[in-house]
Structure 1
Amino acid sequence: MKLDIKFSLLVLFSILCLTTNAQYSNIALVKKHINYLANDKMKGRGTGSKEVFKAADYIEKYFKKLKLQPLGEKGFRQSFEAKVWKVKVADSIRKADNIIAFLDNDAPLTIVIGAHYDHLGTGQQGSSKDSLGVGKIHNGADDNASGVSGLLELARYYSTNNLKESYNFLFIAFGAEELGLVGSKYFTTHPTFALNKITAMLNMDMIGRLNPAQGVAVIGYGTSKKWPEIFNGIVPSIKFYTGHDGNGGSDQTSFYKKEIPVLFFHTGGHPDYHMPTDDPEKINYPGLTGIIDFEIMVINNMLKQTEKLDFQFTN
């Protein structure tokens, strides 16, 4: 009888470990995405460059591989124009695209998952923190190849897990974020999907430089009264802390202004932010996959909700 009790406790402990520290993400795929997007050959993915369109092609091809539905205005693409305004350049008006894919689960409500895929190029469009950085490639491994890798991993997980979830998913790779959240602003003012059917938006921007002692910031925790309930019981492999505000320097802000609850995952600033030194070898890959797994835990708890999340302004 004592042996049976010990065995039962061992089984229970194993189940708890699986539910709290489950590994969903694939570190090899995460590295592959970042090493492609943040390679010197991509020349920093500046808005309007041929390299940023190659990045868009890469994301679109991956969405197609996952057999997601195109939900842009022309296939997966939603095209718009963005203006370079921090510095004077001859080509201040540049073409850009959002890449939009839909996982249809025949559900009444949808979760949006987003990340921007553009960066600073070779410094000519402004925002470089390097006073001598014009002409140098800004690879943007953390900002935001890391977030795109998370976007693609979440798309892969939910489209291949052989489950028909209780919510649909809208995956959006935003263009021209570095020029002022232009892509997300364009989507929320020219939506290809009804905004009133979106229950929440989760954004990933700079999730690649986790400090294990500090943890990942989850900003937007105050945008719905339901977030504490959703986070209850989640025990990820990484530390996290919450921030109340819905506004912030990334694409979730555009959705918050449309009265949609948001969460923004972010590992904070570092000396390589907006510098030519933001390179793939500096990414904390175990930390990054831990964050992706954490997000899946959050989303899985969101899937238990039976009604649209309430919204509240945070200031």
Structure 2
Amino acid sequence: MSTDKMLGRETGMKGSSKAADYVEKYFKKYKLEPKGENGYRQNFTAKVTRVKIENPERKSDNIIGFLDNNAPYIIVIGAHYDHLGTGHIGGSRDSLGVGKIHNGADDNASGVAGLLELARHYSSNDVKEPYNILFIGFGAEELGLLGSKYFTENPTVSLDSIQWMLNMDMIGRYNPENGLAVIGYGTSSAFPKIFEGITSSIKFNKSRDGNGGSDQTSFYKKNIPVLFFHTGGHDDYHKPSDDEDKIDYKAMEAILKLEIDVLDNSMKQPKMDFQWTN
């Protein structure tokens, strides 16, 4: 997902298309039900607006798989699979790096790995959970959360049926001094109860706000409770140096275990209320 052959997964280009195929392959492997508008795919057009380029309009896809537990409500788990390509679409923090491949190992191959691991876990755990789960690989997040915006404006399930949304964006560079950020804790009065008794081998800090620079924001704006798991910024963010060898896999495993505990506790709750945090 973050090797040079993916060419930085730029929206509308070959690498991003290959990343979408990769997510779809695993959704099929885990026998998730297709929940796009064209199989697993929800096609949309994204536009590059940060910089002037010759081909600003790009084709992209949300990849959507559904674990149907015949339940009345749905939990959404998402992560974006696109990145900056070679930096020509804007967003690079390295002016000398434009033209070099931005592999985006943390941003957001790490989140996609988490998405696929949670899909594997819940599709193979021989437990019929009391909630359905919708897994989404979002396209065009780097162009302005465009994939998640498109989904929430053109949902393939009823938004009223969504219990809450879990988003993973940059979960690969855990810093013990800062800890893991869990953003959105204030978006439902149920979250304090959900987190009761949950412990982890890593430090995590709960933050109330539902807004933020990733795909959970699109759901928050539709009055849906959200949590955004994020290990924070670092010197390699949006630079060609965001490479796979810097990922902390042991910490990622702990983050996913924490997420499973939170998800499982949330499934013990009735339909959650929504709270604005600002």
Uncovered stretches (5+) of structure 2, i.e. residues with no partner: none
Residue 218 of structure 2 corresponds to residue 254 of structure 1? yes
Q: Distance in 1 between matches of 2:241 and 2:129?
A: 40
SS in 1 for 2:42: strand
Q: Within 5 Å, which residues of 2 pair with 1:201-280?
A: 201-280=165-244
Give, in angstroms, the shift of residue 212 of structure 1: 2.0
Amino acid at match of 2:273: D
Give the corresponding residue for 1:62. Answer: 26
Residues 212 and 287 in structure 1, CA contact (< 8 A), matched pair in contact too: no
The answer on 1:97 being equivalent to 2:58 is no
Task: Give RMSD over aligned pairs.
Answer: 0.6
Partner of 2:134: 170
Map of 1:186 onto structure 2:
150
SS in 1 for 2:185: coil
Pair 1:314 & 2:277 matched:
yes
Task: Give the Å deviation of 1:238.
Answer: 1.0
Match of 2:258 in 1: 294
| Moved >6 Å (runs of 4+) | none
User: How far apart in 2 are the matches of 1:213 and 1:156?
Assistant: 31
- Note the alpha carbon deviations across 1:72-126, whole angstroms, 9 max, x for none: 0000000001111111100000000000000000001110000000000011110
Aligned 1:6-21 pairs, distance under 5 A? none
Matching of residue 119 in structure 1 with residue 75 in structure 2? no
- The share of aligned pairs that are identical, in percent, is 68
1:5-33 Cα offsets, whole Å, 9 max, x none, are xxxxxxxxxxxxxxxxxxxxxxxxxxxxx
Match of 1:197 among 133, 143, 161: 161
SS at match of 1:222: helix
Which of residues 86, 109, 131 in structure 1 aligns to 2:95? Answer: 131
Deviations 1:23-44 (A, max 9, x none): xxxxxxxxxxxxxx00000010
In the alignment, the residues of structure 2 paired with residue 239 and residue 106 of structure 1 have an alpha-carbon distance, to the nearest angstrom, of 35
Gaps of 5+ in 1: 1-36
CA distance in 1, matches of 2:65, 2:200: 28
Partner Cα distance (1:239, 1:134) in 2: 35
Greater radius of gyration (CA): 1
1:88 to 45, 52, 64: 52
If the length of structure 1 is used for normalisation, what is the TM-score? Answer: 0.88
Question: Per-residue deviation at 1:252?
Answer: 0.2
Asked if 1:156 corresponds to 2:120, the answer is: yes
Letter in 2 for 1:99: I
- TM-score of the two chains, using structure 2 as the length reference: 0.99
Letter of the structure 1 residue corresponding to residue 49 of structure 2: W
CA distance in 1, matches of 2:267, 2:151: 24
Q: What is aligned with 1:106?
A: 70
C-alpha distance after superposition, 1:195-238 (max 9, x if no partner): 00000000000000001232100000000001000000001121
